[in-house]
Structure 1
């Protein structure tokens, strides 16, 4: 297998999406635009003690030399691989260690980025369901690194809160969102 380094110069030509191969697809275009804005910022790896969807496998990351340096919001693990012995260890901001965020509105608040192309498809569908069911549903599309660093969840690709409490980081289909609504008796 060939390792391809994504750069500003080759981003448009490379396949970067896990599920969609068509570069003209609006979801792929959204992800590439998001990635282009982030290439110079660097990346960190999120995992969890228990294997979970959309998070890196903890055992595999440790096998590759990464180490857990912080944890937050019930199950997120922050991992890093230092490139030098004096590298500063990253850490979560203190507000991410809180389980309940009283400053959020009642109802649902969804924070998301265009990192995953499926948010472009599913976020509008969830908004439509919430509106149809007259459920309070606020959407915050995170566009900058500064915004991402100040949301109440470490996983900014997709994080859903209900009445200030973290609900899930998994991108929801209509059926899964309906189950959450039913569990909240909405």
Structure 2
């Protein structure tokens, strides 16, 4: 399998792996590609296998990452994803090695990536990261872990900004924070909004429109984070059925209290 780098010259014709490719997914593809186009000037790199599947790595200088961390001179991995029939072939290792070589050539001190206490959707598998030599840098409630891979000894360890370590927020009802960094948010955030309108649910939606907003966030995962009455609910991008289940559960708990 060859590795292709997606850039402004070929992004309009390349399949970007993580987004749906049929007509129903066109808006998702479009939102993701527009997000990528705006990030290339920030040093974003998107490399993928030359197949129509989820086989890619996306990374950028940590100073420009849409994540509330302090990691000067590191390279931040937004996503490393190999799925389906392509798993177990060493492709993740190849993509990661591509990132390491490129980052060293750009004089970075190491890599940094957001993960969790165990394997969870939309976050990198901590067991794989530890197997590849990543070290724990910092943690944040309820289960987030920041890992780093240093290229040299005695360098500053990355950390979450203090904004993510504050007490819970005071918002009432549901609050959904998201960005278009993931193509699926364009569809499922709209679904949540329509559900809230139909059911008269108190839902406030906050979209991170630039890196400054994301970097000052109190949410470690700025791609998608759902809260209820200031309490964390999930980082997983919810379809309508899952959103409805959470709504019913929260309503039931509230009525019991």
Displacement of 1:87 in angstroms is: 4.6
Matched residue of 2:206: which SS? strand
Where is the strand percentage greater, Structure 1 or Structure 2? 2
From 232, 237, 253, the equivalent of 1:166 is 232
Describe the SS at the equivalent of 1:115.
Answer: coil
Q: CA deviation at 1:22?
A: 5.3
Confirm or deny that 1:16 pairs with 2:46.
no
* Divergent runs of 4+, >6 A: none
* 1:27-66 paired onto structure 2 within 5 Å: 27-39=28-40, 40=43, 41-42=60-61, 43-44=76-77, 45-66=113-134
Relative contact order higher in (CA < 8 Å, ≥ 6 apart):
1
Number of equivalences: 184
Distance 2:164 2:181 in 1: 20
* Separation of aligned partners in 2, 1:150 and 1:25: 31
**SS, match of residue 79 in structure 1:** strand
Structure (1 or 2) with the larger CA radius of gyration: 2
Report how far residue 178 of structure 1 moved. Answer: 0.5
**Relative to structure 2, which stretch is displaced further, 169-178 or 140-149?**
140-149
1:52 deviation in Å?
A: 0.9
**Higher relative helix content:** 2
* Contact 1:70 1:92 (8 Å CA) reproduced: yes
Normalised by the length of structure 2, the TM-score is 0.65
* Residue 4 of structure 2: aligned partner: 4
Q: Secondary structure at the match of 1:127?
A: helix
Gaps of 5+ in 1: none
Aligned CA-pair RMSD: 2.2
**Consecutive unaligned residues in structure 2, runs of 5 or more:** 44-59, 62-75, 78-112, 253-257
Q: How far apart in 2 are the matches of 1:178 and 1:123?
A: 13
Cα displacement (A) at 1:153: 0.9
